[in-house]
Amino acid sequence: MRYQALIFDFDGTIADTLQAGISIYNNIAAENGFRQLAGDEINTIRNMDIRSALTRLNIPKLRVPLLLAKARRMLKSDITNIPLIDGITETLMELRSNVDRFGILTSNATENVEAFLELHGLRDLFTFISSTSSLSGKSKHLRSIARTFSMNPSRMLYVGDEIRDIHAAKKAGIDIVAVTWGFNSRDALAAEQPHYLVNTPAELLAVAGASASS
């Protein structure tokens, strides 16, 4: 393996939370007078970074932490209905057998991630699960993870599905592989020039150097 540590985002990367997330957002939007998501509006938002999306949806940045906390609580009640990304289980198992550290860094609640992984028999694969309450705080947490495990950032790889994941990893000096099956569109991700861009979970094996095809 060319990397000592693989760190994954959760929503949209491991768990297929897109539809549940849209439903939760629309419920919150209806209560607060924000712009709702449907049809072409969803595709438009998927091509935007988080700051642009908040502006378009008329969501004040100062309200984001409270709204995010509410969304986490709402997702908790639906966590047993969330599916895994198709093919991710086999890929995670193969990757885990070839790496020292295996973790999750997410904006979701740790208890939601724990419950989901336990439900699908995947919790024991992961060395750690870290959560940030800020939509833009992942770079700080990635650097903290490197210090905690005394790792060189150049030997770490972050896997995420959003533009903000790319920005966070680059800011922390960590390689990023952007996956196209999550929230942001392939074109939007490609425009941010991630170190790697993959279309299926199986492609992660070659990126991480865990298969003969790498």
Contact yes or no for 195/177 (Cβ under 8 A): yes
pLDDT tens-digit series, residues 27-70: 999 999 999 998 899 999 999 999 999 999 999 988 998 999 99
Contact yes or no for 49/55 (Cβ under 8 A): no
Q: What are the domain boundaries of the chain?
A: 5-16+83-208, 18-80
Architecture of domain 5-16+83-208: 3-Layer(aba) Sandwich (3.40)
Mean pLDDT of 195-210: 92
DSSP 84: B
Whether residue 201 has pLDDT greater than 60: yes
- Which of 178, 203, 209 is CA-nearest to residue 9? 178
- Which of 206, 202, 213, 209 is CA-nearest to residue 92? 202
Contact yes or no for 135/164 (Cβ under 8 A): yes
Q: In the sheet where 128-131 sits, what is the strand order?
A: 128-131, 101-106, 5-8, 156-160, 175-179, 196-198
> pTM value?
0.93
Q: Name the one residue in this structure whose structure tokens are 């393996």.
A: 1
User: Mean pLDDT lowest for which of 46-55, 82-91, 132-141?
Assistant: 132-141
pLDDT tens-digit series, residues 65-84: 899 999 999 999 999 999 99
Mean pLDDT of 96-112: 94
Helices H / strands E in the chain, number of each: 10, 6
> Half-sphere exposure (CA, 13 Å, Cβ side) for 154?
0
Whether residue 188 has pLDDT greater than 50: yes
Whether residue 26 has pLDDT greater than 90: yes
Contact yes or no for 6/95 (Cβ under 8 A): yes
pLDDT tens-digit series, residues 154-168: 999 999 999 999 999
pLDDT band at 141 (very low <50, low <70, confident <90, very high): very high
Taking each helix axis from N to C end, the angle separating 64-76 and 110-119, rounded to the nearest 10 degrees, works out to 30
Whether residue 119 has pLDDT greater than 90: yes
Catalytic positions are 9
pLDDT band at 213 (very low <50, low <70, confident <90, very high): very low
Contact yes or no for 182/162 (Cβ under 8 A): yes
